[in-house]
Amino acid sequence: MKTLLALLMLPAICLALPQIELKPVISSGLSAPIGLTHAGNDSNGGRLFINEQVGRIRIYKPNSHTLLSTPFLDISGRIRSGGERGLLGLAFHPDYRHNGYFYVHYSSNGSTCGAASGDTVISRFKVSASNPDIADPGSEVCILTVSQPYSNHNGGQIAFGPDHYLYIGLGDGGSGGDPQNHGQDRNTLLGKILRIDVDGGTPYAIPANNPFVGQAGMREEIWAWGLRNPWRFSFDRQTGDLWIGDVGQSSWEEIDLQPAASGGGENYGWSCMEGTHVFDNSKPNCPPANPVSPVIEYGHSPECSVTGGYRYRGNHYPDLEGIYFFGDYCSGVIWGATASGGNWLVETAHDGPFGLTTFGEDSQGEIYVIYGNEVFMIMILGAIFADGFE
């Protein structure tokens, strides 16, 4: 088995992480927020964009500590929401400042893009010409639709990589145990991370160096495979490494790490494997050849569902530099992972409540976390910003 790095989550290992606290940012006014991001080199005050599951994108302006009442975009009439469906992902084009394009990942209610109800839709919208805080709901351009056989394991994250290609996380299609073996089938987009060029064709092009280009019986959009439900992934803004939080089935949650130098094509093993453990070797293509092991895994009880996060690259807290923060939906705990001697060692950074849905990052590299309907920023205990905001 190909192993990138080893990890044992042992409480006896003391990494002496800086003591952190969560600074309340938004305490009211949101409904089921499940994503938070920024618009890159934003010329409008470093706004935060928060997607609500029902189909709205909201704007928070840090400079005035204001959550705008009018949504940036409201497409709730096009979305099937509830459970693991809804407006699941949001990403701004690297040249958003000039072209005004942003991309969304949502579950269709059957009214758009030729998708059936419950199917995945990836589409593009554009900001309005008259108001930078309002998008044009009529500007939708359908990029990609994917049939979903069940209601769960839709994935969710979309993000532009350092290469300016759009990466899309899709789960294995749902039910339990991947009954259709999508994770190990490269002729389907389910159970994968995709990589497409939204600028090179209509509606998109396949990057020439994608790992399965020109290979018969394989979808050329695939960048990585063998995933169960990559709910949240992120790129390290300093190194370009790709961190993937893949939600487990019955026993193990995992964090996978793809180095920036990778040419893609990694098989993370699902559903033959769950983390480093055999799940079902009776399926076709099992056991997999050279699966890539997670760099972090942990068992259930009381945890149940990993939420991938970000490696800290902000300016306010130098002592947090390089720590990878991630958490768990059920226990609410936030962990910090630190590189040490070729391993990633993990220590509890914060004990939170139930319902840790997502992490986010602002344009300056500061990290945010959402519990329930509230947004917090990760900060060192007792720290004060240079501008007086504490």
> Are the C-beta atoms of 349 and 317 separated by less than 8 Å?
no
CA angle (216 as vertex; 210, 222 as ends), nearest 5:
30
> Are the C-beta atoms of 283 and 179 separated by less than 8 Å?
no
What secondary structure does DSSP assign to 324-364, as a single string?
EEEEETTT--EEEEEEETTEEEEEEEE---S-EEEEEE-TT
What is the pLDDT of the chain when averaged over all its residues? Answer: 93
| Strand ranges inside 114-214, DSSP E | 120-127, 135-146, 158-160, 166-170, 192-196
pLDDT in tens, 47-63: 999 999 999 999 999 99
Q: How far is residue 93's CA from residue 197's CA, in Å, rounded to a whole number?
A: 11
Sheet strand arrangement including 20-26: 20-26, 374-380, 367-371, 356-361
Quick one: pLDDT band at residue 9, thresholds 50, 70, 90? Answer: very low
Distances in Å between the Cα of 270 and the Cα atoms of 2, 54, 168, 232, 330 are 14, 30, 18, 17, 22
Distances in Å between the Cα of 48 and the Cα atoms of 60, 74, 107, 289 are 5, 16, 23, 42
pLDDT in tens, 240-269: 999 999 999 989 999 999 999 999 999 999
- Output DSSP code: residue 24: E
Would you state the pLDDT for residue 387?
Answer: 43
Quick one: pLDDT band at residue 42, thresholds 50, 70, 90? Answer: confident
Query: What is the percent of the chain where pLDDT is above 70?
Result: 94
Whether residue 287 is preceded by a cis peptide bond, meaning omega within 30 degrees of 0, is yes
Cα–chain center distance at 2: 24
Domain-wise residue ranges, the chain: 1-24+149-198+208-390, 29-148
1-24+149-198+208-390 is classed in which CATH architecture?
6 Propeller (2.120)
Written as one letter, the residue type at 230 is P
